[in-house]
């Protein structure tokens, strides 16, 4: 799947039902800080990498709908092209909400280059400080983590963490989690990629580390022929109208998960995603059934 195909898949997630937004009800506590975050955030990979003009304004409407729906955590990275610039510009146009929880990353080699890149990110977001700074895909993490610790001690960032994606490099992430005092980790977890259940999620709970889940829709691959059929009967038990809601509830029902960050380009799909914070969550048995039913579909 190339970049355009992935973007179309993410944009099409949720099957296009324009459902009403409900205020956020499901929150999780950041153990190291004590504050609570809504369990659905907003990712910006591919979706916010747009130039000035109508496309960028459309992303601003997604942001506005996200905050109206009770969202807080917006996640980005210098790797995502123009995404940070788009976020900053649209916040300036719309008015940056006080509830924003900003999460971005350092993605370069070398300590000095990392410091410069993080300062550029802060300027693009137009914030006095970033809430969460993460080492993107653990690139040169041994150089960047001391800088992040220093920035946190100085009050220049509030939380620090490391990330990986696409279900990769879990062995190294586990080593870092055991060795370093991290506030957050970020990795891939979905109904079709459940490797994190074996070691990373239990370790995060043990270490009291907050977990952000990326690629909750497997980059859009979860949607297609399997999700065109009506939802199974269990959907009523957890108040789900779409597969998008079911996929997200599957994730955030895990007690070690703090926040999932689906990405979208459309307000209607954003609203569906936010609905995953409303109504009952599946228990362990139902989560197994959701995964099994999807695999059989």
Percentage, residues of the chain above pLDDT 70: 92
Can you tell me the distance from the alpha carbon of 127 to that of 121, in angstroms, rounded to the nearest whole number?
A: 9
pLDDT over 50 (residue 3): no
Q: Is residue 20 part of a domain?
A: no
Can you tell me the distance from the alpha carbon of 96 to that of 112, in angstroms, rounded to the nearest whole number?
A: 30
Q: Is residue 24 part of a domain?
A: no
Map tokens 């070690």 to a residue: 256
Q: Is residue 26 part of a domain?
A: no
- Predicted confidence (pLDDT) per residue in 27-74, tens digit: 999 999 999 999 999 999 999 999 999 999 999 999 999 999 999 999
Mean pLDDT within 255-283: 97
Of 261, 252, 227, nearest to 242 by C-alpha is 227
Q: Is residue 32 part of a domain?
A: no
> Would you mind telling me the total number of residues written for the chain in this entry?
297
User: How much is the pLDDT for 223?
Assistant: 96
Q: Is residue 92 part of a domain?
A: yes
Q: Is residue 18 part of a domain?
A: no
Can you tell me the distance from the alpha carbon of 66 to that of 50, in angstroms, rounded to the nearest whole number?
A: 18
Mean of the per-residue pLDDT values of the chain: 92
Can you tell me the distance from the alpha carbon of 6 to that of 23, in angstroms, rounded to the nearest whole number?
A: 29
Helical segments of the chain, H only: 3-12, 54-68, 83-94, 111-125, 141-153, 170-179, 200-207, 234-237, 243-252, 267-275, 284-296
Can you tell me the distance from the alpha carbon of 74 to that of 44, in angstroms, rounded to the nearest whole number?
A: 8
Q: Is residue 29 part of a domain?
A: no
Work out how many domains the chain is built from and give that number.
1
pLDDT over 50 (residue 12): no
Q: Is residue 230 part of a domain?
A: yes
Whole-prediction pTM value? Answer: 0.92
Q: Residue 268 to residues 12, 122, 141: CA-CA distances in angstroms?
A: 10, 30, 37
Residue 17: CB partners within 8 Å, gap ≥ 6?
241, 242, 268, 272
Can you tell me the distance from the alpha carbon of 29 to that of 36, in angstroms, rounded to the nearest whole number?
A: 4
- Sign of the torsion angle spanned by Cα atoms 129, 161, 191, 236: negative
Residue 157: CB partners within 8 Å, gap ≥ 6?
129, 130, 131, 132, 133, 148, 151
- Predicted confidence (pLDDT) per residue in 95-151, tens digit: 889 999 999 999 999 999 999 999 999 999 999 999 999 999 999 999 999 999 999
Can you tell me the distance from the alpha carbon of 18 to that of 67, in angstroms, rounded to the nearest whole number?
A: 17
CATH number of the domain that residue 120 is part of = 3.20.20.100
Helix, strand and coil in the chain, % to nearest 5: 45, 15, 40
- Give ∠ CA 54-271-49 in degrees, rounded to 5: 35
Domain of residue 89, residue span: 3-11+37-296
């Amino acid at each position: 799947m190339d970049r355009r195909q992935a973007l179309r898949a993410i944009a099409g997630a949720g099957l296009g039902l324009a459902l009403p937004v409900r205020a956020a009800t499901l929150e999780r506590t950041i153990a190291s800080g004590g504050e609570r975050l809504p369990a659905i955030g907003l990712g910006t990979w591919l979706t916010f990498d747009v130039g000035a003009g109508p496309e960028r304004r459309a992303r601003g409407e997604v942001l506005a709908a996200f905050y109206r729906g009770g969202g807080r955590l917006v996640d980005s990275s210098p790797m995502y092209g123009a995404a940070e610039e788009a976020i900053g510009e649209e916040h300036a146009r719309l008015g940056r909400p006080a509830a924003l929880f900003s999460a971005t990353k350092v993605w370069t080699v070398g300590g000095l280059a990392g410091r410069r890149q993080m300062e550029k990110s802060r300027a693009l977001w137009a914030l006095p400080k970033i809430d969460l700074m993460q080492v993107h895909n653990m690139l040169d993490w041994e150089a960047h983590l001391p800088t992040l610790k220093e920035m946190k001690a100085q009050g220049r960032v509030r939380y620090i963490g490391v990330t990986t994606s696409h279900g990769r490099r879990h062995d190294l992430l586990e080593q870092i989690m055991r060795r370093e005092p991290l506030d957050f980790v970020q990795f891939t977890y979905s109904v079709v990629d459940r490797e994190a259940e074996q070691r990373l999620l239990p370790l995060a709970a043990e270490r009291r580390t907050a977990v952000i889940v990326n690629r909750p829709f497997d980059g859009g691959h979860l949607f297609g022929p399997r999700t065109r059929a009506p939802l199974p009967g269990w959907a009523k038990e957890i108040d789900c109208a779409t597969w998008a809601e079911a996929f997200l509830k599957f994730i955030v029902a895990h007690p070690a998960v703090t926040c999932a960050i689906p990405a979208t380009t459309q307000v209607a799909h954003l609203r569906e995603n936010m609905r995953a914070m409303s109504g009952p969550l599946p228990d362990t048995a139902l989560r197994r059934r959701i995964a099994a039913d999807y695999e059989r579909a």
